A and B are shown apart, each in its own frame.
Chain A
Amino acid sequence: DAGVIQSPRHEVTEMGQEVTLRCKPISGHDYLFWYRQTMMRGLELLIYFNNNVPIDDSGMPEDRFSAKMPNASFSTLKIQPSEPRDSAVYFCASSFDPKMNTEAFFGQGTRLTVV
């Protein structure tokens, strides 16, 4: 398996534009996590899915953020409209059930810059 694949690796967009980040988890993993990393706040959990169903979205900062997982091999994180303060590195991770004490595997991240 190629690991967790995220696209794009870098995204520069203008304030107000819609941004869509994509993630392909490792095949067979039934948990998918979206994180955001900034210098100030570190690595924050935004939302996670279990078997394609959103379980906890309490970390999603605002209604401008939405995430979907239409099938087991694909997830998107959308920001509409984007703002400069959304600039960060967004990571997707997948795993088996964390309660089974297995690690999460991370993608390389998408570095988002909103100007």
Chain B
Amino acid sequence: SQELEQSPQSLIVQEGKNLTINCTSSKTLYGLYWYKQKYGEGLIFLMMLQKGGEEKSHEKITAKLDEKKQQSSLHITASQPSHAGIYLCGADRGRNSNRDDKIIFGKGTRLHILP
């Protein structure tokens, strides 16, 4: 079963606008990763969040982990064409399983930026 749900599945935003992508886990989050994938390419690491309430920023991208809600949000301010791509959240299975070194991913959010 899918353990990480991302919303929305796709997003079309006018250049310059702000946007938010959400990632919700069905299990307790011990570590959450955000990756970006340009179409036809591999995944590029953006940032990792470990503690509830932790917030990190990378250029105009900010991500926050709400551990109680088992949720993370990724916010882009003043979007640019270079932000277009697929954003994936990934989670370390942590102490939820005997096999606790897996990194699993949501299905991704496809972001399109209109000029």
Partner of A97, one of B35, B48, B101: B101
Per-position 1/0 for B88-111, Cβ under 8 A of A: 101010100001111111111000
Q: How large is the interface on B (under 10, 10 to 19, 20 to 34, 35 or more residues)?
A: 20 to 34
In the bound assembly, the distance between CA atoms of A50 and B102 in angstroms comes to 11
A44 to B71, alpha carbons, bound, how many Å? 20
Residues of B in contact with A (beta carbons under 8 Å apart): 31, 33, 35, 40-45, 48, 50, 88, 90, 92, 94, 99-108
Q: What residues of chain A have their CB less than 8 Å away from a CB belonging to chain B?
A: 4, 31, 33, 35, 41-43, 45, 48, 50, 55-56, 91, 93, 95, 97-99, 101, 103-109, 111
30 contacts between A and B (CB under 8 A): A42-B88, A42-B106, A42-B107, A43-B43, A43-B88, A43-B108, A45-B102, A45-B103, A45-B104, A48-B101, A50-B101, A55-B99, A55-B101, A91-B43, A93-B103, A95-B103, A98-B92, A98-B101, A99-B92, A99-B94, A101-B31, A101-B48, A103-B33, A103-B48, A106-B35, A106-B43, A107-B42, A108-B41, A109-B42, A111-B40
